[in-house]
Amino acid sequence: MDKKSAWDRFYSETSSRSPNFKNFEWFFGFDAVQDFITPLLQAASLSRHPVQVLDMGCGTSALGPSIYRDSALPVRVTCADISPVAVRLMREHIRANAVRPRNASSQIDFLELDCTRLDGHYGPSSLDLIVDKGTTDALLRSKEGAEKAASVLRQCLKVLRRSGSLLQFSDEDPDARLVWLEAAAQGQGLAAADVGVQEVGVLRGVCYYCYQVTAHHDVNK
């Protein structure tokens, strides 16, 4: 589940089933998690504008565009995915529908990016919020998944500003994910982050969680 070709095929097949574009949502849509995201945007906005947001592994989800559309605060949302097919579909959809942001200063763009090479694109301390809805879950299910996912987590901590946060939305039980997050975040021998969890809720019989990893230490040295 970490191969570009597999995701290109998935999004090509998904889009071909209907003549009209439809967002494909893993787990749930923006409405289910808005209350986790908005307070972090508000906190980040106290010190800078616009708030820099990355939707990591966006696919064709409406999550990133919804943050862009609904935020009362100025945000710059980058929706990034390994699949150029997903990126193209999202660009075309936004262009065709002329999505207008609540804040006229907000911006959105779409980027083809392999999240395992995140720090090759972003410099240290350049993002305020990274949203991950199922991307780490997909990595963990791939070959050498735990190692790749841990590398992505540490790269996220490098590119996040001090007190910036990574939100992982997942159906993995906290007994497993919290232990993994704490171990992976300290993989460089540093107490690099605070890790917490809140329950999103039960949807279609599955319980989902929001794992928040907050950078509080300079992990770039």
Residues 6-45 pLDDT 10s: 888 878 888 777 778 888 898 999 999 999 999 999 999 9
In whole angstroms, give the CA distance from residue 178 to residue 153: 13
Helices 4-16, 84-97: crossing angle, 10 deg rounding: 40
Residue 149 has pLDDT above 60, yes or no: yes
pTM of the full predicted structure?
A: 0.92
Whole-number Å distance between alpha carbons of 64 and 53: 8
The CATH number that domain 36-215 falls under is: 3.40.50.150
Give the contacts of 204 (CB within 8 A, at least 6 positions apart): none
